[in-house]
Chains A and B, each alone.
Chain A
Amino acid sequence: MGKISFFFKEAFGSLRRNYFMTIAALVTVFLSIVVLGLVLVFVFTTNELLGDVEKKVQINVFFKTDPDPTPDQMTALETEIGSWTDQVESVTFISKEEGLEEMRETYKDRPEIFENLTRNPLPNKLVVALVDPLLVDAVADLIRQQDPELKVLDEVNFGEDTAEKLFTITGQMRNVMVGFIALLGIVAILLISNTIRLSIFARKREVEIMKLVGATNWFIRWPFVIEGVTVGLVGAAAAAATVLVVNSYSVGKLRDLMPFLEIPLGAVPSTLVILVLLGVGVFIGALGSAIGLRRLLKV
């Protein structure tokens, strides 16, 4: 019987013996981590949702009309913008004909709009999608600098006001969620370390005796730490399973309820969530035991 197997035997023995405390600690861990997990899922999903909204921010570059720039001029600008691969995800040229076609498609219920049209009034344009939507301002400026005298370009626009408001809101939402997660983490640690502390205090006498026969602090500590980690791990595993099941179930429900929101399906990285929750469980369990034991191990 080696030392390590002795520690494990001690730990599991006392988990069984003090089953009431074990269950209490398990339930605490489980509930805290379920809440934490659900918040994580919410954060991932809304983050993806916000990202989708942000991606819709794009820059419209309108060319002059009367007269239209030469195709060479337009291609030159398109190539130039397309070469800024750090900021620009894609550049699409939409000719005035394509633009009109698009418009006819959009307003196909009201053909009277197009009845009196003698010629195509639309400008040619470039639609620029961005790598980082937050850089929209800078990129728009950069495009303007390509033609400061406005020989080719008519207007570069991206709905400045809307974009800015959107970014403020999404930024704030992210901060709030990060804060919420941090708060929950602290609450979970306090709750669990308190539960473990109670179970350790119930065994104060046991620890005293161990010390009397000359057990070193680490010898006393190991079984308790193994106990804490086991409780943390089991509680976290159950919580992770619950969170993932709830997630896949509720995303489907929500999509049916609110089809306009386009809630992303694969937004939650399951492996990451599982690992994070298990990690939190182990950490909390070990920390809880350590904190709980600290006072008893003095003398």
Chain B
Amino acid sequence: MIRFEEVTKIYPPSTVGLEKVSLHIEKGEFVFLVGPSGSGKSTFIRLLIRELEPDRGRVSVGGRDLSTLRRWKVPYLRRNIGCVFQDFKLLPNKTAFENVMYALVVTGNASSTSKKKASEMLSLVGLAQKAKNYPNQLSGGEQQRVSIARAFVNHPPLLIADEPTGNLDPETSLGIMQLLYRINKTGTTVVMATHDREMVDRMRRRVVQLEGGKVIRDQKRGGYGED
């Protein structure tokens, strides 16, 4: 699903984003990216959605080498990658339903079936009652659920979550994690960058630990720290 080959990314003048990272993530895996701030987690994610391009090495997603991907095709790549962020990134002037719907409209899909799809997705994340609320009328956890619904409404083969629980209390975080877990169960690959030690330890999934732009640990069923 995801393959990094000797990927190096330097931010000018000389800040190391990633250094010679090689990594392979299989289809259907659930992977935690852990490490302190500045360790390269965000760089990793931004390379995946081609917000950045590597200075050296190759990134491929779903068998596609991103370095050969033409710029006008980038939007089509992103439709196959659901993204969830710490700050939710919801459109403030759209209701929960419209926010989810937006991901479908963007693909030129605004039919009644897709409206049904968006509604179903909101029910799935437990927000059927709040479809007409605007983001500022929702709690943090609820906003994150909307954002997950939007990320998953196209049923992308890959879902990326960058600190999705970073702004949430432990109980709400657990709900979000369960959602991601269920999404993973449908066969979607999930890559999640996190600081949430407790969550990682509890889930016991593959853990990739980054530090100073390098992979210092890649463990099949790891915890946040080394055991």
Contacts and interface: CB of A to CB of B under 8 A. Distances in A.
Interface in B136-189: 150
Contact of B106 (A2, A206, A214): A214
B110 A213 contact: no
B89 A215 contact: no
Interface in A176-216: 205-206, 208-216
Given A3-B110, A6-B110, A13-B93, A212 B49 contact: yes
A267 to B, nearest CB: 49
Interface in A8-30: 13-14, 17
A213 B51 contact: no
Contacts of B110: 1-3, 6
A213 B76 contact: no
Given A212-B83, A219-B106, 13 more contacts: A3-B108, A13-B93, A205-B89, A206-B91, A208-B89, A212-B78, A213-B78, A213-B83, A214-B78, A214-B79, A215-B75, A216-B72, A216-B106
B103 A214 contact: yes
Given A1-B110, A3-B110, A211 B75 contact: yes
B102 A213 contact: yes
Interface residues of A, number: 21
A127 B199 CA distance: 104
Which of under 10, 10 to 19, 20 to 34, or 35 or more describes the interface residues of B?
20 to 34
Contacts of B102: 210, 213
A210 B83 CA distance: 12
A115 B76 CA distance: 101
B76 A214 contact: yes
Contacts of B107: 214
Contacts, number: 49
Contacts of A214: 75-79, 103, 106-107
B124 interface: no
A213 B108 contact: no
Interface of A: 1-3, 6, 13-14, 17, 205-206, 208-217, 219, 299
A216 B77 CA distance: 11
A213 B93 contact: no
B216 interface: no
B78 A211 contact: yes
B128 interface: no
Contact of B93 (A17, A211, A212): A17
A3 B49 CA distance: 25
B59 to A, nearest CB: 16
A227 to B, nearest CB: 14
Nearest to B76: A214
A2 B51 CA distance: 30
Nearest to A215: B106
A63 B76 CA distance: 87
A178 B14 CA distance: 54
20 contacts: A1-B110, A3-B105, A6-B105, A6-B110, A13-B93, A208-B89, A209-B90, A210-B102, A211-B78, A212-B78, A213-B83, A213-B102, A213-B150, A214-B75, A214-B76, A214-B77, A215-B75, A215-B106, A216-B72, A217-B75
